[in-house]
Amino acid sequence: MTDPALHPELLRIRADFPALAARPRGKPVIYFDNACTTLRPESVAAAIADQVRTGAACHGRSYHRLGRAATDTLARARHAVLRLIGAERPEEVIFVRSATEGLNMVARSLGLGPGDVVLTTDQEHNANLIPWQRLTRSHRIRHEIMPLGSGFDMAEFRRRLRRGVRLVSVFHTSNLTGATLPVAEICHEARRHKSLVLIDGAQSVMTHEIDLASMGADFFVFSLHKMMGPTGLGVLWGRAALLERLEPLIVGGDTVTDATYGDCTFAPLPARLEAGVANLDAAAGVEAAVDYLLQLERRHIHSHVVALNEIATEGLRRIPRVRVLGPPAPAERGAIVNFTMDGVGSHSLARLLDERAGVMVRHGKHCGHAWYNALGVEESVRASFAVYNTEAEVEVLLETVAKVDGMLE
């Protein structure tokens, strides 16, 4: 959507995203599914395409020029991640397929056993719920779930820590409500009680400044596809001493430096936790994505999406059958507005938005089935904003939802 009233800087940003120029069914693309996967700027697409065209070698294994180029591509991606999250040691950056794989790697490899307590909240993504459920059965850990209610209760958190917690595993920003937890304070309190902390940063890495040195987390995971980067690549960051204690989840390939028919010697970090040939096509897009994101500055992105959320929230609250989920203040929901409409299923509403106005949203339980079931909410529609979205696009969303509401009278 090209709006002549748009600020020139926003017009320039939108021009960087080829997907916004498409006209499916003759309608402009209004993409509000950014909490699932963001669009990619041309610079990221070009970096990936160049690797696909010219790269054809294994990293770290072949010395010829293409092999050295592959090794360099992966190294640059690793150093770009360090710049993004405020870390310093490249061996602490482990490339995985996604934040989901990173969470599962910690769950399966940390050595949790009978009686160990893992504490999460009641609004976690399935990726930070199901692994702990499985370990309660297979390893007899204790999984405790702390209800958030209207916010994070630090006094209750301290009480639980005093009873003994091996690992605190929580989101930074919720994919369900957009709420952001006080992770630095959580890490501080956990450290006082000798508990480890794993932070799911999948929803925060695009809109929040991440400084792991000041945050104090022991592990941090995120996916590149939620920050204008490639799909199929995620990051598990961890303190080196802890990563070295992880039992490799997948073995073979370059995870070892030597092997006999009876035993093997595992490689140092990060290779010991990165089995197989890396996804070099995706890795080629990491540096471009980080450069683009840091150039925009995440505090500006956050201000922009909150401003859009304020318009969306105000408009949705004027529609009789609509109920917004999560904290009442848009500023506390960041880029996400998650809502239901009485009398219309989420699938039907999402389909109508797409077919009638080209508005693309997510519908369903958003990989948070347990939360929905506990609330007694069947499903919802989630609109999530990014730096390239506009006020005019939000108005189209509101107008279309209002028309659907009018059809029910």
| pLDDT tens-place string over residues 88-113 | 999 999 999 999 999 999 999 999 99
Domain shared by 105 and 223, yes or no: yes
Residues 229 and 311 in one domain: no
CATH code for the domain of 347? 3.90.1150.10
Tokens of 368: 């948070």
Q: At what angle do helices 298-317 and 391-407 cross, to 10 degrees?
A: 20
Number of separate domains in the chain: 2
**Is residue 37 situated within a structural domain?**
no
**Measuring CA to CA, how many Å separate 218 from each of 33, 155, 187, 196, 317?**
30, 22, 8, 6, 40
Q: Which residues lie closer than 8 Å to 71 by C-beta, 6 or more apart?
A: 59, 60
What phi, psi does 252 have (nearest 5°)?
Answer: 120, -170
211-251: per-residue pLDDT in tens?
999 999 999 999 999 999 999 999 999 999 999 999 999 99
What's the confidence (pLDDT) of residue 6?
59
What mean pLDDT comes out for the span 369-391? Answer: 97
Cα 107 to Cα 200: distance, rounded to the nearest angstrom:
13
Written as one letter, the residue type at 167 is: L
Q: Per the structure block, which two tokens stand in for 343?
A: 């009398």
Among 242, 276, 295, where does a domain finish? 295
Same domain, 331 and 362: yes
Q: Give the whole-angstrom CA distance, residue 304 versus residue 327.
A: 19
Does any domain span residue 194?
A: yes
119 three-state secondary structure: strand
CA distance 123 to 148: 8
User: 347 and 390 share a domain?
Assistant: yes
Three-state SS letters, 341-381: ECCECHHHHHHHHHHHHCEECEEECCCCHHHHHHHCCCCEE
Residue 39 in any domain: the answer is: no
Q: Is residue 104 part of a domain?
A: yes
The answer to whether residue 284 sits within a structural domain is: yes
| DSSP-derived secondary structure letter, 242 | H
- Tell whether 304 is covered by a domain: yes
Same domain, 219 and 310: no
Question: Is residue 40 in some structural domain?
Answer: no
Domain boundary among 295, 310, 332: 295
| Residue 3 banded pLDDT, cuts 50, 70, 90 | low
Q: Could you tell me the pTM of the whole model? A: 0.96
| Shared-domain flag, residues 286 and 165 | yes
Statement to judge: residues 305 and 248 lie in one domain: no
Stretch 295-303: mean pLDDT, rounded? 95
- Tens digits of residue pLDDT in 16-61: 999 999 887 788 999 999 999 999 999 999 999 999 999 888 888 8
Q: Residues 79-93: pLDDT tens digits? A: 999 999 999 999 999
Do 143 and 254 sit in the same domain of this protein? yes
| Active-site amino acid positions | 367
Assess whether 285 and 314 both reside in one domain.
no
Residues 84 and 115 in one domain: yes
- State which residues form the domain around 376: 8-31+297-407
Rounded distance, CA 293 to CA 145, Å?
Answer: 34
Candidates 261, 117, 131; CA nearest to 190 is 117
Q: Tell me if the bond preceding 320 is cis, omega within 30° of 0.
A: no
Q: What is the rounded CA–CA span in Å between residue 177 and residue 173?
A: 8
Q: What CATH number corresponds to the domain at position 281?
A: 3.40.640.10
CA distance 151 to 158: 15
Domain limit, last residue, from 231, 261, 295: 295
The H or E element spanning position 45 is: helix 42-54
Backbone angles phi, psi at 265, to 5 degrees: -115, 115
Q: Is residue 214 part of a domain?
A: yes
Contact by Cβ (8 Å): 272, 88: no
Q: Do 64 and 89 share a structural domain?
A: yes
CA–CA dist 204, 183 (Å, integer):
11
In angstroms, the CA 202 to CA 130 distance is 17
Note whether 152 and 259 are same-domain residues. yes
Q: Is 276 a residue whose pLDDT tops 50?
A: yes
